[in-house]
Structure 1
Amino acid sequence: MTEESKQVESLLPYDRWTEDAMREVALRALDHAGAHGLPGEHHFYLTFRTDYPGISIPSHLKARYPEEMTIVLQHQFWDLKVNREAGIVSAGLSFGGVPATLVIPIAALTAFWDPHVRVGLRFPSSEPAAPAQAPEPKPAPPMATQSAPSDAAEAAEEEEGPAQVVSLDAFRRRPTRDGA
């Protein structure tokens, strides 16, 4: 990389602002569906971290999905609410015929997908605050599970075609090996 082509370090948090704006798009869609129902054939896949602090899901689901889970909001959900002040999304769903209310911190959301219009948003993994980061190990060879979508999203993609997923990772500055 030449001196002229080095990326300038921004003093403004554009990546965070962009992520917040993308989350707001998903929250507005959820807000609309909660207030007015889902219009036409729209339905949502919502993926979130199940290990995030403040998450409230049935224990059998947490055991089955210890890190991440995708739910479908389509025909049988109720009380869908977005509470920005509390920083949560809540919805009632049935799992195996047993009703449950899920409470999901907004920061735990990792993806939003509306397969009817093939609009998808992927958010960086919002993991709980970790201790100081150790140096990154050399990347492992790609594995199918590293970047594979969830089963639900994959099934939707097979039905509907490829999604228009927006990921901020492509725009994030990556550290170089020499630390510059």
Structure 2
Amino acid sequence: MSREIDYGNLMHSAMRGLIRSVLEGVAKDGLPGNHHFFITFDTSHPDAELADWLSDRYPGEMTVVMQHWFDNLNVGEDGFAITLNFGDAPEPLYIPYDAIKTFVDPSVEFGLRFESPDDDDMDDVAEDGLDDDIEIEVQEEAAEKKEADVVSLDSFRK
């Protein structure tokens, strides 16, 4: 038994569980409102499944968008399957939760980023265009929303 609690892995597991719950809701009821997702994943993950031409074009990582058109969303224990449109060519994908590097819903300024021991520094800009500014903006917006003015009810009494 380990003498320390592995908070990093516990947090990653919880965040992946959150993604799974969100995707289960989308599979059941569709995307609500303006919600849409940018999901960056490791295309070289041993359990990731994608067309050869996609893995050739994106040998390290790839960002997919779930928004206007997607089909066959099947959410499982270890990952999810989905068919997405790539230039009018529907392609099935299987994305393991462990392969996910970022999950962003820009409609509500929410984002998750999974760090691995191979990642240099959280301040580095991701090559796929989704950078730490998204995560920082989400954190700043959340902090601003948490700050609320407290108004005493006595000021409204006569």
What's the TM-score bracket when you normalise by the shorter of the two chains?
0.7 to 0.9
2:75 is aligned to 82
Q: How many residues align?
A: 135
Match of 1:124 in 2: 115
| Matching residue of 2:50 | 57
Gaps of 5+ in 1: 1-8, 128-138, 166-180
Equivalent AA in structure 2 for residue 70 of structure 1: T
For 1:10 and 1:147, the matched residues in 2 are separated by 35
For residues 117 and 80 of structure 2, what CA distance do their matches in structure 1 show? Answer: 15
**1:110–1:126 contact (8 Å) kept in structure 2:** no
Residues 111 and 91 (structure 1), Cα distance of their counterparts in 2 relative to 1, 3 Å cut: same
Give the SS at the match of 1:89. strand
Q: 2:81, 2:53 → 1: CA distance?
A: 18
Say yes or no: does 1:101 pair with 2:92: yes
Equivalent position to 1:31, from 3, 21, 24: 24
Aligned residue type for 2:112: L
Q: Which amino acid in the other structure matches residue 44 of structure 1?
A: F
Q: Going by fraction, where is helix more abundant, 1 or 2?
A: 2
**Equivalent in the alignment of 1:45:** 38
Q: Does 1:162 align with 2:131?
A: no
The offset of 1:124, in angstroms, is 2.1
In percent, how many aligned pairs have the same letter? 36
Residue in structure 2 matched with residue 92 of structure 1 by the alignment = 83
* 1:114-163 alpha-carbon deviations (Å, 9 max, x no partner): 00000000112498xxxxxxxxxxx8xx9x9x423623x36xx5xxx933
- The Cα shift of 1:39 comes to 0.3
Q: What amino acid maps onto 1:114 in structure 2?
A: D
* 2:46 maps to 1:68: no
Partner of 2:115, secondary structure, is coil
CA shift for structure 1 position 99: 0.9
